[in-house]
Amino acid sequence: MTAPSTFGLSTEARNLHWLLSNLVEEVPGVHSVTVVSSDGLMLLSSDPGHHRAKEAGPSDGPRGSSADLATIVSGIGSLTVGAAKLMDGGGVKQTMVAMDEGSVFVMSISDGSLLGVHATPDCDMSVVAYHMALFVGRAGHVLTPELRSELRTSMESAQ
């Protein structure tokens, strides 16, 4: 993982970067993590601006760039919110997609943003979900409009 530069960022933004990096480094089986705003823009990524080679294997995560996971998370989030509305199911808290070569987890953050994780197929799903819930609990109350704007600007300059 390439650590993003946090030079010049607010304390809250640096703390969110630290929490995100910690999630990737400390939870076994996690490949990459992203936070996507309610309007689909990537706010944080475990490897911002890091473009993967097209010949990357299935265990290397989404092909193309770190933005691919954000796109997937945004799409899954939109699809599940629509499904919940059609079924009068209330708010969507968490979604998990298990595939032969990996898993994608999406969890809602209080401001409408989404936390997305790409993990190995043999990861302990309960451990991943637990650590995601910890991140959401710690990050949800600090994602103010000002901080989201700062994070967007930071992501744009990193790419």
Which residues, given as ranges, of the chain have pLDDT below 50?
1-3, 49-59, 61-62, 64
Domains of the chain as residue ranges with CATH = 30-46+64-144 (3.30.450.30)
Question: For the chain, percent helix, then strand, then coil, each to nearest 5?
Answer: 45, 20, 35
The predicted structure's pLDDT at residue 90: 94
What pairing do the DSSP bridges indicate for beta strands 30-36 and 42-45?
antiparallel
Q: Is the pTM of this model over 0.95?
A: no
